[in-house]
């Protein structure tokens, strides 16, 4: 007879936004370091997404404690084997990298660019960490579903990548940025992340076996199958492949924006159903 920790919407939002922040940041770092001149616009959007989200993430965790000042108690220990402990430190460190990269995205000088790229390379490690550790945290508790989900961290990381890229795409679209071939790169990256996420999700459910029932049957069946799987992954993937033919740049961007909104909904539902179904 285990007891649910009563982690509610603060934690759902934190897991969701933390995934986006981490994913947008490491996607930006990769685009910045290995992409071309035009990909820098994507990179900047990624940094500008990660920075405020990292702040919001800290605020959400602090609010969840009830007495916000007690967040400082997290910083009296460094238990590197404890996901929540290094998660707190990791989020703090990640925040520093996002501030630096966002600040260095304000100007155009070559020196700033070079510095930003190098900082982003190191920071991307914390981005990967932030997207994944929340899953490892869940899978190392005594709660049903969570405790047997060996792939939870891997899945959350893939979801962080897909939602991070999706948020970059949505914001770029509404900015009306002229991204040229960067659209197709963004799309390629997001499609890849979605495929990996879908595979990991099915592997996770298969590995859970009957333990997955609270997630896949009953009251969470609809948000899981209809929301996360169909609306959040299968439909956007289908849209990406169907429209692969090309067409005008603006339409390509439009499709990507629609796909991205669906991916974001799916990413939120993933955190929601996993957190809620584990505490039934």
Partner 1 sequence: MAKTLAMFTDTSVCTGCRACQVACKQWNQLSMEKPEWTGTYQNHEHFTEKTWRLVRFKEKRAEDGRLKFLMMSDVCKHCAQAGCLEACPTGAIYRTQFGTVNVNQDVCNGCRNCVSSCPFGVIAFSYETGRVNKCTFCNDRIHNDMPTACAKTCPTQSIQFGEREELVTRAKKRLAELKVQGEKEANLYGVDENGPLGGLNAFFLLLDKPSNYGLPEDPKLPQRNVKTDSAFSIGSALLLGAGLLVAFRERGGNGEGGGEE
- Which residue ranges make up the site for partner 1 (CB under 8 A)? 1-7, 26-27, 30-31, 33-37, 39, 42, 64-67, 70-71, 73-74, 76-77, 79, 81-85, 87-88, 117, 124, 128, 132-133, 135-137, 139-143, 146-147, 150-155, 157-158, 161, 165, 185-186, 188-189, 192-193, 196, 200
CA pair distance 66, 75, nearest whole angstrom: 17
Q: In Å, what is the CA distance from 246 to each residue of 92, 183, 188, 241, 252?
A: 42, 11, 13, 10, 7
Shortest Å, Cβ 221 to partner 1: 24
Nearer to partner 1, 43 or 262 (CB): 43
Nearer to partner 1, 65 or 222 (CB): 65
Nearer to partner 1, 2 or 226 (CB): 2
Shortest Å, Cβ 226 to partner 1: 25
Quote the tokens at residue 65.
């404690």
DSSP string of 65-125, one letter each residue: TSSGGGGGGGGG---TT-HHHHHHHHHHHHHHHHHHHHHHTSS--HHHHHHHHHHHHHHHH
How many residues are there in the chain?
Answer: 280
Shortest Å, Cβ 164 to partner 1: 10
Shortest Å, Cβ 36 to partner 1: 4
């Amino acid at each position: 007879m285990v007891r649910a920790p009563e982690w509610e919407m603060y934690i759902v939002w934190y897991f969701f936004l933390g995934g986006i922040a981490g994913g947008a940041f490491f996607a930006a770092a990769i685009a910045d370091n290995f992409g071309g001149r035009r990909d820098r616009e994507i990179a900047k959007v990624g940094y500008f997404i990660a920075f405020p989200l990292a702040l919001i993430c800290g605020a959400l965790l602090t609010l969840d404690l009830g007495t916000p000042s007690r967040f400082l108690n997290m910083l009296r220990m460094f238990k590197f084997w404890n996901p929540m402990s290094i998660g707190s430190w990791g989020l703090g460190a990640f925040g520093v990298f996002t501030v630096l990269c966002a600040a260095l995205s304000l100007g155009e000088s070559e020196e700033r660019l070079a510095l930003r790229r190098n900082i982003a390379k190191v920071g991307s490690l914390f981005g990967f960490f932030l997207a994944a550790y929340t899953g490892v945290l869940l899978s190392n508790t005594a709660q049903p579903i969570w405790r047997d989900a060996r792939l939870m961290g891997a899945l959350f990381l893939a979801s962080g990548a897909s939602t991070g890229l999706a948020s970059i795409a949505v914001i770029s679209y509404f900015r009306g940025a002229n991204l040229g071939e960067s659209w197709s790169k963004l799309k390629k990256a997001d499609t890849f992340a979605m495929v990996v996420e879908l595979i990991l999700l099915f592997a996770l459910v298969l590995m859970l076996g009957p333990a997955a029932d609270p997630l896949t049957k009953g009251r969470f069946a609809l948000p899981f199958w209809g929301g996360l799987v169909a609306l959040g992954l299968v439909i956007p993937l289908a849209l990406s492949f169907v429209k692969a033919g090309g067409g005008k740049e603006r339409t390509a961007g439009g499709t990507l924006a629609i796909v991205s909104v669906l991916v974001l909904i799916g990413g939120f539902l993933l955190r929601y159903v996993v957190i809620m179904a584990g505490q039934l």
